[in-house]
A = this chain, B = another copy of it.
């Protein structure tokens, strides 16, 4: 464990502190009862990273996450042969604001806050992440939403933008995520990294939780991370 000099913990949110599969599949089952909610949810989530990458590549101009999720939702609905109306689309997109935290998340964040500045660093907007935090009692010090920088992870501007905002060096920030690509990007920009296992992220579908040996810390959940970081 090498967290010496770390002042800030930056948490990925979707998957790392919240259980999007349970939250979204529940909303899909309620709003679109005619589809297989689990498969619909996984397919929607698979289209998340690719459309953000199209913004970062410059193919699409800056657009907020809700707009991108609306576009991919329409694509998935077509694939599943359903045509949700505007209210249903809005309800499904808004459902990402109230997905539940993992059982250890709120308490883990609270414990880690004793020793570190704790921040969300997510591709959600500040408003979305504020709703998520209030819904789940996440005691963030600072909410780093993609709209602060008009960039999506794994873009450098998000990781280094948070460090700049908090007036620390990138090496004083530790990225906490259950996605190795997020951590690999963070490390490439000088941040430290902590992998958190979330074997149920995809609702029973396979998930690689091995984590790279390059990570500074590997934890089974946020309470374990707190113990490993001495909080």
Complex: A61 Cα to B178 Cα, angstroms: 41
> Nearest chain B CB to A55's CB is how many angstroms away?
19
The one of B139, B142, B145 that contacts A126, using a Cβ cutoff of 8 Å = B142
**What residues of B have a CB within 8 angstroms of the CB of A71 in the complex?**
none
Spot the interface stretch: A16-24, A40-48, A127-135, A188-196: A127-135
Tell me if A141 and B148 are in contact (CB < 8 A). no
Q: Which residue of B lies closest to A66 (CB)?
A: B167
Complex: A165 Cα to B165 Cα, angstroms: 16
Number of copies: 2
**What residues of B have a CB within 8 angstroms of the CB of A130 in the complex?**
117, 141-142, 166
Complex: A168 Cα to B126 Cα, angstroms: 12
| A112-142, CB < 8 A from B | 117, 125-127, 130, 133-134, 139, 141-142
Q: Which residue of B lies closest to A133 (CB)?
A: B141
The one of B127, B133, B134, B166 that contacts A167, using a Cβ cutoff of 8 Å = B127
Tell me if A142 and B141 are in contact (CB < 8 A). no
The interface residues of chain A, by DSSP majority, are classed as mixed
Q: Which residue of B lies closest to A141 (CB)?
A: B130
> Nearest chain B CB to A169's CB is how many angstroms away?
13
B-contact 0/1 string along A154-168, CB 8 Å cutoff: 000000000001111
A147 at the interface (CB under 8 A from B): yes
Given A166-B126, A166-B127, A167-B125, verify A142-B143 contact (CB < 8 Å): yes
Complex: A213 Cα to B127 Cα, angstroms: 32
Taking A127-B166, A148-B148 as given, write out 5 further A-B residue pairs in contact, using a Cβ cutoff of 8 Å, ordered by the A residue number. A117-B130, A127-B167, A127-B168, A139-B139, A143-B143
10 A-B pairs closest in CB distance: A127-B167, A126-B165, A127-B166, A130-B141, A130-B142, A142-B143, A117-B130, A126-B142, A134-B141, A133-B141
